[in-house]
Amino acid sequence: DIKGFIFDLDGVVTDTSRYHAKAWGQLADKLGVDYPGLGDAVKGISRMDALEMILKKGGLENNYSEAEKEALAAEKNANYVNLIQNMSAKDILPGMADFLAELKDKGYGISLASASKNAPKILEKIGLSDYFTKAVDPATLKYGKPDPEIFIKGAQLLDLMPAQCIGLEDAAAGIAGINAAGETSVGIGDPELLHDATINFTDTSQVSLANIEKAMQ
Ligand code: BG6
Ligand code: MG
């Protein structure tokens, strides 16, 4: 039986993935790297791994020292933090506030499995911190998504076995991590991109316990 839900943040609870895409796009432009599909490619990918992807795309992976890479990542993050400054509860994706309330009401465990070091700040801004007192700290991770580590830790925070958990993701890398953890995966977004998910919804407004139960039958 399902007893817990493990949430990705960016692109699932709130639409910050477009800000990540924009901030990385600004950095890629500055580096002269042409990267079609950059926005989807960096979904779920940690800050330093995403930087490496962009550098590789431009054949620049050996052009920068570790310190310079840290500076580039910090620059992207400054762009990003600037873009999320004015976020508020209006930026919660459709249906997600209701879904979280429903889960809490019915006693399901809720944890956060976001790769983002900005997650606490965003949850604060959109007013959902109280739902996510159990959150995996991405700074403690050895491996980023698609590795299952973050989703295994998300289940441990709930004192549950992976098989008792559902993970929700908008990124292909995230779905791969949920599946490898032995959890049930709910993909939110383009079903072609998220074809490995156990269940697919095209957008967050369809996410509810009833619809998940229906889809799992
Ligand atoms: C993920 C986003 O949630 O967090 C990625 O989908 C992002 O695009 C990653 O790179 C890391 O975020 P941050 O805020 O720590 O740079
Ligand atoms: Mg995401």
Q: Span 151-169, mean pLDDT?
A: 98
Catalytic residue list contains 8: yes
Q: Span 192-210, mean pLDDT?
A: 98
CB of 46 closer than 6 angstroms to any ligand 1 atom: yes
pLDDT for the residue numbered 11: 97
Instruction: Name the closest ligand to CA 145.
Output: 1
List all residues 6 or more positions away from 131 whose beta carbon is below 8 Å from its beta carbon: 100, 104, 110
pLDDT for the residue numbered 19: 97
195: left (phi over 0), alpha (psi -120 to 50) or beta: alpha
pLDDT band at 131 (very low <50, low <70, confident <90, very high): very high
Classify residue 93 by its DSSP letter: P
Catalytic residue list contains 10: yes
Ligand 1 atom closest to Cα of 42? 8
Nearest protein Cα to ligand 1, atom 4: 116
Residues 79-113: pLDDT tens digits? 999 999 999 999 999 999 999 999 999 999 999 99
Global ipTM: 0.98
CB of 43 closer than 6 angstroms to any ligand 1 atom: yes
CA 92 to centroid of ligand 2, rounded, Å = 13
